[in-house]
Structure 1
Amino acid sequence: MNNIKKLLEGVEVEWKPLAYSEYGVAELSRGRVMSKEYLINNAGEYPVYSSQTANNGEIGKIRTFDYDGEYVTWTTDGANAGTVFHRTKKFSITNVCGLIRIKNTKVLNYKFLFYWLSIEAKKYVYSGMGNPKLMSNQIAKIPIPIPPLEIQQEIVRILDSFSMLTAELQAELQAELQARKSQYEYYRNQLLAYPMEESDQSSLRSNRSATSIQNSDNSTQPLSTLNPHTGNSVLQPRGKVEWKMLGEIGTFIRGNGLQKKDFMENGVPCIHYGQIYTHYGTFATKTKSFVSKETANKCKKAHKGDLIIASTSENVEDVGKTVAWLGDDDVAISNHTFIYSHNQNPKYLAYLFQTQAFLKYKKTKVVGVKVIDIPQKALESFCIPIPPLEEQERIVSILDKFDTLTTSLTEGLPKEIELRQKQYEYYRNMLLSFPKNNIKA
């Protein structure tokens, strides 16, 4: 901090508008319209940037380029309006992007301008009519501080170092999280990989039709084809295991009626199907949302110990995602869900729905293209191992520990990154705090 204060001590700063009036330090232009069809028909090696922020704003590559060199670009329209990027080399931009070309790079550094606009540009976004915009006439008026070029370069060097450290930390935390997740999934699959005895297979074949449990992908024993046991006593199955279809040991009830517009801050607890794969984990004791008693009276309700299963999603991975309801109160359930009532350990069953075996099974059973559904009959036909309740409890206790660790890392990752980001922003703001005098309009 003392070094920063020393760096800025006594520095003379001239203020000029970005591109407004004769004092403007830059020239502004806009990109051009490029349709998806155009990107496909002109596919090549040079990036095209648009209004999104994912993938550094890149939406595709074409065989030509409109700009070659160093520039700053900004997003003009939409949710990301006012987002700025430092661009180099050969590229193009679409019509929802603006381009900034500095008139004299011996006076103003591109990266310094980028860092300054990262703070200031969002302040000039106009959000009228529900569509945020930062058009050329607005960004042109932003005052730009111009300290000596060597000071700009030193500020850029410091902020680049902070940015690199933040990115490296994020990569390390993501790698740690992925390693823990892989370890957790391995143990979960091992603990739930019971071999199916011949007597179990014969019993299943005699009790139900072949079409309901057997097909070319061997869905009769989906959980017995996972990773083989390693001899680790913790992972070894214990006790007699029966194989049953979900429809044999429980009942599915389809949810109804509840919509997001019905949500209230207080009232009867409720779960909307979309929340199952965006908010909840393996189990829940409290809900994110509530509805009135009148609305709840019209809804099907899950009781303590029931599973709540999302029957609809936009992808196969999320459809069938399950949360075990362990709250004391009944919870109202939306449509596009199933309530599964049973007499087994609810968390044990919820963990079974997370296995690769269930993923493989449901891929052969889902219907739909844009909207993916898993039919009730498919869920009823899913065959699972049923060990004694005490063995289910042992498995759950082990998986809970991994689940807690993984969840804490998942929650801790954004917090740690946010902490680093705030630290970076603190030093950035200090480095870019100049007395606002001598501003030329």
Structure 2
Amino acid sequence: MSNNLNMHNSIAKLLDGVAVEWKPLGEVIKSLKTGLNPRNNFKLNTSDAMNFYITVREIQNGKIVFLDKTDKINNQALELINNRSNLEAGDILFSGTGTVGKTAVIDEKPKNWNIKEGVYVIKPVQEIVVSKYLSHLFNSKYIVNEYSKKIVGSPVISLPMSELKKIQIPIPPLHIQTEITRILDIFTELTAELTAELTARKKQYDYYRDKLLTFKEDEVEWKTLGEIAENLDYMRKPVTSGLRKSGSIPYYGASGIVDYVEDYLFEEDLLLVSEDGANLLARNTPIAFSITGKTWVNNHAHVLRFKTYGERKFIEYFLNNIDLTPYISGAAQPKLNQKNLNSIKIPILSLTKLTQIVEILDKFDALTNSITEGLPREIELRQKQYEYYRNLLLNFPKLEDK
């Protein structure tokens, strides 16, 4: 409590009587540019592609994060984009299309990467505005609200450069900008460290999950899922949205909760498995997931009952880890029907081995996915802390308030 109070007092003292000048962004920057899209200019991921091609997904927590799925470009394409974007240390990257408003500050001149069209390069006049201060400002509640009014397009949205230049920016003295940046960087650095830790733990989780859930044909006994689980599909009941009575009971579909209703069909621990939908092939979210307590399930998810927790969780992990393509019918509308679901081969393990695998994977799952514990929860708390102090520090008197 005392630390929060000291922080509040320090901020109040820092901002007391500070003179703030408001200027359009276009007046405090040297230029506003963007990168280049492939189209007829170059190709991605060619055999000689050694450089990174940065899109909005690589802009994370104020930094550029190179991912396993980051696209690559060759040297000729890199030079072509360089001639247009001219990235330098101190530049701010701003996502102007798709997920508008994500920012990152370039620490040093890039050597092996550049950006796509739609990622904007903002080059601040350093004698007027500090790069990191401006980056934090772009994420503040007031500025986000201002540029959100200027967003155009559908389904892919964008913020025109001409409109971004018109956004009014609060410019306090440079030493105030620097101190605000120092305070806020404490929170963003911690979030970035936690995010990097989460990425490492997810890779570790993937490794052990694959290792623990891969079995040779003659290594274990195999049974079909229909021999192991009790199928409760006959108890499902779909209800159209217009006829559902609103309540507190989760109403489940193929990929999770789709609504909350007044009544329930089940009151126990069960495993749901997606019956249809594009996610059966895309696997963007788990196709098998456990539910507990009072629930309602529609006819887009199979309902399976198991004798023990360990058995249910093992099957959940196993189904989410294997290739289900051979069991899925339909291309336009992928479907995993009950007959094919029941025919999936499952390895039969001793109780000791099964329990050991589930305990290990449960720990990794809680660490990497839980919203109530583990790293995701910690990241969420630090992000909320950052947002609170960012809005407190950047809450300057508005133009209309003067």
Q: What's the TM-score once normalised by structure 1's chain length?
A: 0.61
Structure 2 distance, partners of 1:173, 1:351, is 22
Cα 1:39–1:156 change in 2 (3 A) is farther
- Contact 2:255–2:285 (CA under 8 A) maintained in structure 1: no
The one-letter code of the counterpart of 2:342 is L
- Contact 2:266–2:294 (CA under 8 A) maintained in structure 1: no
1:15 aligns with 2:22: yes
Task: Tell me which of 299, 307, 310 is aligned to 1:334.
Answer: 299
Q: How much has 1:306 moved relative to structure 2? A: 6.3
Residue range with higher mean Cα deviation, 106-115 or 314-323: 314-323
Hey, what does 2:4 align to over in structure 1? none
1:160 aligns with 2:160: no
Which one has the largest radius of gyration? 1
Cα 1:290–1:359 change in 2 (3 A) is same
Structure 1 distance, partners of 2:189, 2:362, is 31
- Identify unmatched segments of 5+ residues in structure 1: 194-216, 225-242, 280-287
The one-letter code of the counterpart of 1:289 is D
Hey, what does 2:343 align to over in structure 1? 380
Structure 1 distance, partners of 2:348, 2:19, is 75
The one-letter code of the counterpart of 1:34 is N
Task: Tell me which of 44, 51, 66 is aligned to 1:40.
Answer: 44
Spell out the pairing of 1:54-69 with structure 2 (5 A cutoff). Answer: 56=64, 60-61=72-73, 62-64=77-79, 65=82, 66=84, 67-69=86-88
Once the two structures are aligned, what percentage of the paired residues are identical? 24
Q: How much has 1:89 moved relative to structure 2? A: 2.0
Hey, what does 1:84 align to over in structure 2? 103
Hey, what does 2:3 align to over in structure 1? none
- Identify unmatched segments of 5+ residues in structure 2: 1-6
Cα 1:263–1:404 change in 2 (3 A) is farther
Residue range with higher mean Cα deviation, 307-316 or 155-164: 307-316
Structure 2 distance, partners of 1:118, 1:223, is 54
Hey, what does 2:121 align to over in structure 1? 99
Spell out the pairing of 1:64-143 with structure 2 (5 A cutoff). Answer: 64=79, 65=82, 66=84, 67-69=86-88, 70-78=90-98, 80-87=99-106, 89-90=109-110, 92-102=114-124, 104-119=125-140, 120-123=142-145, 124-126=147-149, 132-143=157-168
Q: How much has 1:338 moved relative to structure 2? A: 3.5
- Contact 1:265–1:289 (CA under 8 A) maintained in structure 2: no
Q: How much has 1:154 moved relative to structure 2? A: 3.4
- Contact 1:13–1:148 (CA under 8 A) maintained in structure 2: yes
Task: Tell me which of 246, 249, 257 is aligned to 1:266.
Answer: 246
Structure 2 distance, partners of 1:290, 1:433, is 37
1:310 aligns with 2:313: no
Cα 1:437–1:33 change in 2 (3 A) is closer
1:355-412 Cα offsets, whole Å, 9 max, x none, are: 559945857766778976656346336255498xxx79x9779958984895487122
Structure 2 distance, partners of 1:94, 1:249, is 50
Cα 1:93–1:259 change in 2 (3 A) is farther
Q: How many residues align?
A: 362
- Contact 1:46–1:63 (CA under 8 A) maintained in structure 2: yes
- Contact 1:31–1:93 (CA under 8 A) maintained in structure 2: yes
1:108-152 Cα offsets, whole Å, 9 max, x none, are: 222222222221442121356756543233322322233333333
Cα 1:426–1:333 change in 2 (3 A) is closer
Hey, what does 1:240 align to over in structure 2? none
The one-letter code of the counterpart of 2:173 is P
Q: How much has 1:415 moved relative to structure 2? A: 3.2
Q: How much has 1:345 moved relative to structure 2? A: 0.4
